[in-house]
Amino acid sequence: LYPLIKGYSNNLTTADEELKWSEKQKIAYTTKTPPGTKKDTSLLFPSAYNPEYVESSWYQWWEKEGFFSPEQHRLPHIVDQTFSLCIPPPNVTGSLHLGHALTVAVEDALVRWRRMQGYRVLWVPGCDHAGIATQTVVERRLLREEGKRRQDFTRQEFLQEVWKWKNEKGEEIYHQLRRLGASLDWSRACFTMDPGFSRAVTEAFVRLCDCGLIYRSEGLVNWSCALESAISDIEVDSKQLSGQTMLSVPGYENKVEFGTMLTFAYPIEGQGESEVAVSTTRPETMLGDVAVAVHPDDPRYQAVHGKLCRHPFTDRLLPIITDSMVDMELGTGAVKVTPAHDHTDFLLSQRHSLPRLTVIGGDGTMRPPCGQWLEGVKRFDARQFVVDALFEKKLFRGKKSHAMTLPVCSRSGDIIEPLLKKQWYIHCDEMAKKAVEDGQLEIIPHFYTKTWKNWLSNISDWCISRQLWWGHQIPAYQVELPNSTDKQEEQWVWGRSKGEARQRAAIKYGLKPEDITLTQDPDVLDTWFSSGLFPFAMLGWPEQTTDLQRFYPNSILETGSDLIFFWVARMVMLGTELTGQLPFKKVLFHSLVRDKHGRKMSKSLGNVIDPLDVIHGVSLERLQEKVKEGNLDPREQLVAMEAQRKDFPKGIPQCGTDALRFALCSHKMQGEDISLSISQVLSCRKFCNKMWQTLRFTLGVLGNNTTPVGALEETTPLSSMDRWICSRLYSTVKQCEQAFEAFELHIVTSVLYSFWVHSLCDVYMVRKHSGRSRHMAGSVLYHCVSTSLALLSPFMPFITEELWQRLQPVRPGAAAQTSLCLQLYPCSSQLVGLQPSNLLTTTRVTFVKSKFLRCNFHYILTLSQTDAINHLLTHFSFMPG
């Protein structure tokens, strides 16, 4: 067995190594085991590790036994403390990717660690209804399969189609989470459209309206014509263009030109051939111009202040106004003012009492005020129509390349169109101020604290209206009073039900309830509004449930750093306002997962990987089939498939859940983005095999003796080698404790890998023992392996459970629990007898050092000078000489 144990590289594969692998013999667990029944580990020990064999049956048993539920948690080492958190609810629209897998690996490691420490642990699973994404997916499916658009259905008919799709696809994510080994309490799983959660959303809206934090107002919103809905500021990506650029836009067959500045002239009324030339990147909006603005100090335009221009297509007169907001160096120094389609122009209209004329509709086509020649034409097609018409009227003055920032919808890839809409908003400044001034929220890593405070200190009000059908319909009702003649001014009430809203309206307007007509707002709430309630709504809020009293505030929130504004800030603001407490005490951000080339995961690049494909393995052919089954443009499909052929010429090997989790947690989370390669995961699978062979060797040393070995505290190492490995074990446990408390999981995994490979396998297990020392060495070996399995359990739950169960016949004393996941996590206070000592003789120290250096020479060469010194100090600092 020694060649099997020592036959692998001493260090994990680096990201840039070529993926080389060959198909391994698959070993299946074929013993009939009804779901939820404990796996039989008394069977013959297979000669090699196989993840499919190891990972079968365990999860169903854990779940059925209720090991993940705080109510079923009856441990002899239980402590009077709770540990609670929610999983960032993934969108119900599809499957998890490696970014989700990192979240699961990190959170489950923390959850299993605390559970083994005796904490009463609650980790709640859930899914987000993902309003925009889900509605888009269902609309595409209906168009593809039935040739129907959403507008061909009534609202209720369409929602039935969405629920049907959700019920078919919704369990896929939960299946993936189980396959990843996530020890979630499934009895508390919640979906953001569940009746209980929906009641919490309604309650939150009503309370925030009652205290004046939600208001309705007309303003410019970020509008996606592809979605026909408003989106929030942080859902808008800024695309930097260096100049003239052709881009694909949803709904257009040909690419559209951006990054150019066009100049045209407005004739000045009553001034003969005098004109004022204006520059714009969006000539199609000139139909909505209501003024021309110049800087008051610009000498070129002193003579035209207060004059009027004649619009060449609508015949409207446009005043020439002066405002210091105008940039004299940009274009001609004179700008067209289109308040209904530009944020800066909207501010100018407020300062100068200008009208606001909307010329582009929600579907991205030109509206009737433009005239019949443009009505119904798509906005970017209208752009060329306008330019051609300006040429005909001899008003076109030129075009040049122009660097600009283009707002793009992160949801649809559409170019954002600012549109004037009446929407519901949340006042954020006071809530954000509370979040900043509270100061009790700990953000890890700490360098995000400055970003956090800066963003909250400059926050804008939040538009929460979305023009969708799928989602929480806004519980606000427009009031129609009897004999009312004022159709312009809107009158609104809100309530937990239509009946309550009617009673509120009756009181507000002094009428009988039956005399009032109510019409509910057809819009739905922004998905981030409901997900912002997750930490307390999942526990039964607004009811004062036992769960809410016991597990709120949550102990921690762990999530990707990209959600700091989308989700975290909103949870903090809403939680503090609605519950009077921060929703969690700490926020732990992990880095983003990128591919081995450092690129962001993107379906169009072909580098988005399903965790199950890494766990089970997948052929190149199947990977390419998945690309074809998606919604990518045919050109993007070709790019994605070529990238897959290059990166995975033979597909992806079967690596297993434990290897994937260990590889993900081996990266430093609190820093740069993670560039993950399949080679790294494959290397972790090899580590799993080394663990497997180590246990086979250990059982061989212990022989067929079913007499339990002595307890660890009763074990007195005889030889210097025994004392050395026990000291290394103590040091490893101590380092794991410290790193877990600091949430530095990469240090925990590194320490455990180093102990198992470099200390246990490369040094201790190759030393021969005889006589009495041989019996003691077997006991020491057992405790080193058993303790290491417990230390590794939070990261590698399947293989550690399998191997630990096979050690049970020689376990000292009666097993306190039936599963490793409920054993006490090793702590240094219980191993004080194994602390490093100076009992080693100089001769033995020399032997141990030389043996260690000989076995780890190549590994040490791969380290930097500092890391190499630290590595050696870790192993030798307690030795004399």
Cα distances (Å, whole numbers) of residue 830 to 40, 57, 741: 31, 33, 18
Mark residue 465 as left, alpha or beta (left: phi above 0; alpha: psi -120 to 50; beta: remaining). Answer: beta
pLDDT tens profile 211-251: 999 999 998 999 999 989 998 887 888 999 999 999 999 99
Cα distances (Å, whole numbers) of residue 261 to 266, 364, 398, 403, 664: 16, 21, 8, 9, 47
Q: How is residue 769 annotated by DSSP? A: -
d(CA 487, CA 25): 76
> Which of the listed ranges 59-63, 216-220, 563-567, 718-722 does the model predict with the highest average pLDDT?
59-63
Look at residue 593 in the predicted model and tell me its pLDDT: 86
Look at residue 631 in the predicted model and tell me its pLDDT: 66
What residues have CB less than 8 Å from 57, skipping those under 6 apart? 29, 33, 35, 37, 38, 39
Q: How is residue 250 annotated by DSSP? A: T
Residue 829 has pLDDT above 80, yes or no: yes
pLDDT band at 14 (very low <50, low <70, confident <90, very high): very low
pLDDT tens profile 655-696: 999 999 999 999 988 777 888 889 999 999 999 999 999 999
Look at residue 683 in the predicted model and tell me its pLDDT: 94
d(CA 171, CA 177): 10
Residue 274 has pLDDT above 50, yes or no: yes
Please write down the long-range contacts of 752-755, taking CB distance under 8 Å and 24 or more positions apart.
Answer: 752/788, 752/791, 752/792, 752/795, 753/12, 753/666, 753/687, 754/871, 754/874, 755/728, 755/729, 755/788
pLDDT band at 9 (very low <50, low <70, confident <90, very high): very low
- CA nearest to 780, candidates 848, 706, 729: 729
Q: Of the given ranges (344-353, 765-774, 846-855), which has the lowest mean pLDDT?
A: 846-855
% of the chain surpassing 70 pLDDT: 87
Q: Which two tokens mark 616? A: 């089970």
% of the chain surpassing 90 pLDDT: 63
Residue 113 has pLDDT above 60, yes or no: yes
Look at residue 19 in the predicted model and tell me its pLDDT: 57
Look at residue 840 in the predicted model and tell me its pLDDT: 45
Pairing of strands 586-590, 442-444: parallel
pLDDT band at 868 (very low <50, low <70, confident <90, very high): low
d(CA 468, CA 523): 6
When pLDDT is averaged across residues 431-456 and rounded to a whole number, the result is 88
Look at residue 627 in the predicted model and tell me its pLDDT: 84
Residue 335 has pLDDT above 70, yes or no: yes
d(CA 395, CA 286): 13
Look at residue 271 in the predicted model and tell me its pLDDT: 86
Residue 817 has pLDDT above 90, yes or no: no
What class has domain 237-418? alpha beta
- Alpha helix ranges (H) inside 444-495: 448-457
Look at residue 74 in the predicted model and tell me its pLDDT: 63
Look at residue 437 in the predicted model and tell me its pLDDT: 81
Look at residue 548 in the predicted model and tell me its pLDDT: 97
d(CA 304, CA 325): 18
Amino acid occupying residue 126: G
- Specify the pTM: 0.87
Look at residue 318 in the predicted model and tell me its pLDDT: 97
When pLDDT is averaged across residues 496-519 and rounded to a whole number, the result is 94
What DSSP line would sit under 72-84, residue for residue? G---TT--S-EEE
Q: Angle between the 634-647 and 620-629 helix axes, to the nearest 10 degrees?
A: 160
Residue 532 has pLDDT above 70, yes or no: yes
Look at residue 11 in the predicted model and tell me its pLDDT: 44
Look at residue 844 in the predicted model and tell me its pLDDT: 47
Residue 17 has pLDDT above 50, yes or no: no
- Domain spans of the chain? 2-13+678-876, 237-418
pLDDT tens profile 119-147: 999 999 999 998 988 898 898 889 889 99
pLDDT tens profile 158-195: 999 999 988 887 788 999 999 999 999 999 999 999 99
Amino acid occupying residue 560: G
Look at residue 20 in the predicted model and tell me its pLDDT: 66
When pLDDT is averaged across residues 559-576 and rounded to a whole number, the result is 90
Residue 843 has pLDDT above 50, yes or no: no
Q: Name residue 593's beta-bridge partners.
A: 674
pLDDT tens profile 757-775: 999 999 998 876 655 567 7
Q: What are phi and psi of 160, to 5 degrees?
A: -65, -40
CATH fold, domain 2-13+678-876, is: Isoleucyl-tRNA Synthetase; Domain 1 (1.10.730)
Residue 84 has pLDDT above 70, yes or no: yes
pLDDT tens profile 381-406: 999 999 999 999 999 999 999 999 99
Residue 85 has pLDDT above 90, yes or no: yes
Look at residue 133 in the predicted model and tell me its pLDDT: 85
Amino acid occupying residue 229: S
Evaluate whether 2-13+678-876 and 237-418 have a shared fold: no
Number of other residues whose CB lies within 10 A of the CB of residue 420: 18
Look at residue 439 in the predicted model and tell me its pLDDT: 73
Pairing of strands 462-463, 417-426: antiparallel
